[in-house]
Amino acid sequence: MLDIKYIRDNPDALDQALQKRGQPVAAKQILGLDKERRGIQTQLQELQQKRNDTSKKIGELKRTGADATALMEQVAHDKNLMAELEAEEKELAVELDKFLATIPNIPAPDVPEGKDEKGNVEQRRFKEPTRKNNSKEHFEIGENLGLMDFDTAALLSGARFTLLKGQLAKLERALGNFMLDMHTKEFGYTEISPPLLVREQIMFGTGQLPKFREDQFQVRDLTPDESRGIFLQLSLEEMVDKKNYFQTERYENGVRVVSYTEEGEKRFNHLYEQKGGLWLIPTAEVPLTNIVHDEIVDEAQLPMRFVAKTPCFRAEAGAAGKDTRGMLRQHQFYKVELVSITTPDQSEAEHQRMTEAAETVLKRLELPFRTMALCAGDMGFAARKTFDIEVWLPGQNTYREISSCSNCGDFQARRMKARFRKTGDKSPQFVHTLNGSGVAVGRCLIAILENYQQDDGSVAIPAALRPYMDGLEAIKP
């Protein structure tokens, strides 16, 4: 969420930022709403002041036993107007908030121009890509080993799931443990085992909602029909005759049948959303960042550094037909996630530090990678600046994203109301939040299979992982 005051002072900067991201401008619309709302607010506040003063006088008169009828009538007179203004003000405020909630973060000045991944700029690379003619893709290697089973996964859960067996399942576990150990021991991150189901408000805080609803999975304790039934029982009596939210109410063979008006549907959808269940986290960024949700922390506590290995759940709604083979793009995968909460002064350096922590994972595993500065058009909603780390996949003969490290500035903090107080300072200010994969475990497994594949179909185990694999040097068919 952006600061409305910032937009007031820098409307052009907002529009330029949106254009840089390849999105339509919005400043004029926002400022229009804002101006209208403030006008009404000022009017309303003047009336409120008048009412408060008069009410106080009434109280004094009554205490002394005097007659206050004249004053009481005077206050009653303004009531209707106040109610009107109040309703108007609220409607505008809600509209403005809803709109603001869908505006992405403003890219940092040094973020490259560009509308898609072609605009990204390479920062550095580690090892050169290996090119062999007979490199296999990870699913061939895994299936040939007999340890990667897509058919059974599909039987259990449908497309975009994988079942790992034996040494491959263990390799996945080893990778996660290796990463967690490194980040906690060498980079000072505190290991967290967070909830995987979170409230709507928490998803809003990090920016997954309301804009990216279709990409998420939700768990409900009510079916839509049950929910609808409750809605009808709750509201039918007062709504049918009063406001006519429902078009008709008639009886067929003694059964009451109700059909909905548009307004009724809207009302229902609103309630359904409100009564909705918990959301499955698409990344541990969500629970980790929200650790400071609605908190005012001491400056001395910053920076906070958290790491967690969790399953991540993604609907992949917009990715139909993309990466359908293998386990590159799944509805469920493990990821080790890094989150830092910092002061505004610290966030830039922390961003470098975090990216380095993620890169170190790949260096230890001796996997070739390159680090890219994302261009404005390719950055995520909440990010101010992002570095992607792309690992080399010889089977695909290309680099693929394995980590994404973003500095979100105060964008998420504002949504979460996460603040800190500088020692000596009166008013609190928003923290900065950063998140990065350190790294995606599933994709890292893929990278190891493809980079460590041998001609005989076996897969060597990187030296750094052997302690986690009981000293095993290779997985053989």
Which residues make up the interface to RNA (CB under 7 A)? Answer: 4-5, 38, 41-42, 44-46, 48-49, 51-56, 58-59, 62-63, 72, 75-76, 79, 90, 199, 221, 234, 274-275, 296, 419, 423-424, 426-428
As measured in angstroms, the least distance from the Cβ of 76 to RNA is 5
As measured in angstroms, the least distance from the Cβ of 97 to RNA is 11
CB atoms near residue 377 (< 10 Å): 20
Nearer to RNA, 126 or 272 (CB): 272
Nearer to RNA, 79 or 363 (CB): 79
Nearer to RNA, 158 or 424 (CB): 424
| Chain center to CA of 426 | 31
DSSP 191: E
Alpha-carbon distance of 1 to 31, in angstroms, equals: 15
As measured in angstroms, the least distance from the Cβ of 301 to RNA is 11
Nearer to RNA, 173 or 199 (CB): 199
Going along 210-292, which residue ranges are E strands? 217-219, 246-252, 255-260, 278-280
Number of H helices, E strands in the chain: 14, 20
As measured in angstroms, the least distance from the Cβ of 425 to RNA is 9
The burial of 61, by beta-carbon neighbours within 10 Å (0-12 exposed, 13-18 middle, 19 or more buried), is given as: middle
As measured in angstroms, the least distance from the Cβ of 228 to RNA is 15
As measured in angstroms, the least distance from the Cβ of 67 to RNA is 12
Nearer to RNA, 8 or 173 (CB): 8
Region of residue 397 (phi > 0: left; psi between -120 and 50: alpha; otherwise: beta)? left
Q: Residue 401: which H helix or E strand, with range? A: strand 398-407
Alpha-carbon distance of 336 to 179, in angstroms, equals: 7
Nearer to RNA, 311 or 462 (CB): 311
Q: How many residues does the chain have?
A: 477
